[in-house]
Amino acid sequence: MRLVSGTLGPEDAAATSGNFFEALTSSEFYKNTKVRDIAGSFRWAPFLALQKSNSFLTMLLLLSSYKMKSIPVVDLGEAKIDNIITQSSVIHMLAECAGLQWFESWGTRKLSEIGLPLMAPDLIVKVYEEEPVLQAFKLMRKKRIGGVPIVDSSEIYHDYRSITAKNFLTAVEGYLKTHQEISPFVRGMVICTKNYSIKELIMKLDSEKIHRVYVVDDAGNLEGVITLRDIISRLVHEPRGYFGDFFDGVLPLPSNSRV
């Protein structure tokens, strides 16, 4: 059993093969676990919110440097949540800026010119196509990531496929509705090269409604992965002492964090 950057061994494969969906959906853990049982495992419990008076810079920093995928906007006077800002909504906002002078000037730059992808190829967490699918999800949980690319034995990103947490939820939902033993986990993945412009990448992410794009070379070798957070981080710089001591003791991520 080979899992890059993982510690799962052959004994795990035997335990996770077989009729996975039947075992999962019939388990007491799956049936009885409540939302409240997992809510406290997240980094900000119950959540870290913004108010309408907060700055745009604060929002962008929280969605990039501070690794939040979404931020509620609250009205303290009314004690309610007015809206939720996500990384995807920021990317959509950028796509809507097409045609504006500042965006067109910045957007023509190649990914390599603005330091993307951030992750080196040897640090990409990936799985091999012959491995049991549950192994992929064990690795995703261990590394706290939302998706992994699938490579063949020669390390080629074959057919550009990946497994994501969304695939898992969709497959389970499909199984519960149809009770079929086989559900589609793996989907074709959107890719790009380092020669893409940042504008092209933003438009692709927005139109496909996805959270990451894998970067490949002409031979199909993985060169990196670019996430929504990576793009947002290229737009902002945190002034020294901007948040004071608010995040002291919180960053880096606690070992039991889920986001």
**Region 131-139 average pLDDT:** 78
**Region 170-183 average pLDDT:** 57
Residue 170's pLDDT band (cuts 50, 70, 90): low
Question: In the prediction, which pLDDT does 154 show?
Answer: 60
Q: What is the pTM of this model?
A: 0.69
Q: Which residues contact 166 (CB under 8 A, 6 or more apart)?
A: 146
Residue 121's pLDDT band (cuts 50, 70, 90): confident
- Residue 123: both structure tokens together: 């640090």
* Residue 67, domain extent: 10-233
Question: In the prediction, which pLDDT does 116 show?
Answer: 93
Q: Where residue 100 sits, what CATH number does that domain have?
A: 3.10.580.10
Decide if 239 is inside a domain. Answer: no
Decide if 258 is inside a domain. Answer: no
User: Are the C-beta atoms of residues 129 and 158 closer than 8 Å to each other?
Assistant: yes
- Residue 159: both structure tokens together: 């057919």
- Residue 98: both structure tokens together: 């097409």
Decide if 156 is inside a domain. Answer: yes
**Region 195-201 average pLDDT:** 96
Q: Structurally, how many domains does the chain consist of?
A: 1
Question: In the prediction, which pLDDT does 168 show?
Answer: 61
183, pLDDT greater than 60: no
Closest residue by Cα to residue 259 from 44, 14, 8: 44
Question: In the prediction, which pLDDT does 206 show?
Answer: 96
The rounded percent of the chain whose pLDDT value lies above 90 is 34
Decide if 254 is inside a domain. Answer: no
Question: In the prediction, which pLDDT does 6 show?
Answer: 39
Q: Which residue has the higher pLDDT, 64 or 190?
A: 64
Q: Which residues contact 33 (CB under 8 A, 6 or more apart)?
A: none
Q: Which residue has the higher pLDDT, 70 or 23?
A: 70
2, pLDDT greater than 60: no
Decide if 127 is inside a domain. Answer: yes
